[in-house]
């Protein structure tokens, strides 16, 4: 894994964890439902996985 890919994944993971934390805080304050907070977290995990696959594809095709 090259440095650019690792950095992109680390930033993506950090942002995902931050959004999950904020969603949980909003759900705790009853501003959003727990289902919405869970779905936001799940969506971010799927997007994180998709980013990982995309970066692998770029690396395989020597684009990145």
Give the model's pLDDT for residue 63.
Answer: 66
Give the model's pLDDT for residue 13.
Answer: 79
Is the dihedral angle over the CA atoms 27, 32, 36, 42 positive or is it negative? negative
* Residues comprising the chain, all counted: 64
The pLDDT tens digits for 20-64 are 788 788 888 888 788 887 888 788 888 878 888 887 787 777 765
* DSSP one-letter string for 2-62: -HHHHHHHHHHHHHHHHHHHHHHHHHHTTSS-HHHHHHHHHHHHHHHHHHHHHHHHHHHTT
């Amino acid at each position: 894994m090259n440095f650019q890919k690792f950095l992109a994944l680390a930033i993506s993971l950090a942002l995902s964890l931050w959004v999950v934390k904020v969603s949980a805080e909003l759900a705790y304050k009853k501003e959003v439902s727990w289902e919405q907070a869970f779905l936001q977290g799940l969506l971010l995990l799927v997007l994180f996985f998709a980013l990982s696959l995309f970066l692998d594809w770029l690396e395989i095709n020597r684009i990145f």
